[in-house]
């Protein structure tokens, strides 16, 4: 069952974020606290939204999807960036990832979003296979750019 996350899900979402970070070989980078996630998802000015996949038999959370809105100057419309899609190892292959993506796609259409975008690590073949099976377009000509830490501070100091 796919449903909107609730404040009660925050501890389990944080646990799954840590699991995802470990899977992506970057556990030390997953520093978000439960308080930060709660504020981002359910505070007075939410920055993101989340869905969870709940096992209908056990009631346990099998996975989650966390997204935030984007805006395209080209289309003049909002879109969705999927920040995280994670299904716990024991639940993989059960259709939870596909169901989460389908629910997000339906939300996009209901909301007038024209784009639904996400990133995938080049080595994550299982995820790439899923995305290809859905007909996702891979934008190989685009590169992700990021400033953090000292480099971010250096650029900011130039203002």
Known catalytic membership, residue 131: yes
Strand partners, 67: 49, 82
The answer to whether the beta carbons of residues 82 and 116 sit under 8 Å apart is yes
Strand partners, 51: 4, 65
Out of 23, 64, 86, 131, the active site residue is 131
Residues with Cβ < 8 Å from 31, sequence gap 6 or more?
none
Question: Rounded to 5 degrees, what are φ and ψ at 54?
Answer: -110, 130
Mind telling me the catalytic residues? 131
């Amino acid at each position: 069952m796919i449903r909107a996350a609730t404040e009660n899900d925050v501890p389990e979402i944080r646990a799954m974020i840590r699991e995802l970070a470990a899977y992506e070989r970057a556990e030390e980078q997953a520093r978000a606290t439960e308080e930060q996630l709660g504020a981002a998802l359910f505070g007075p000015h939410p920055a993101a939204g989340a869905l969870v996949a709940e096992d209908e038999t056990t009631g346990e959370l099998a996975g989650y999807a966390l997204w935030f809105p984007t805006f395209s100057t080209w289309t003049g419309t909002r879109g969705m960036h999927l920040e995280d899609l994670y299904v716990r190892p024991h639940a993989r292959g059960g259709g939870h990832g596909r169901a989460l993506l389908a629910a997000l796609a339906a939300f996009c259409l209901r909301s007038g979003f024209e784009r639904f975008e996400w990133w995938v690590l080049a080595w994550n073949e299982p995820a790439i296979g899923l995305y290809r099976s859905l007909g996702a377009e891979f934008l190989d000509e685009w590169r992700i750019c990021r400033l953090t830490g000292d480099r971010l501070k250096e650029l900011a100091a130039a203002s």
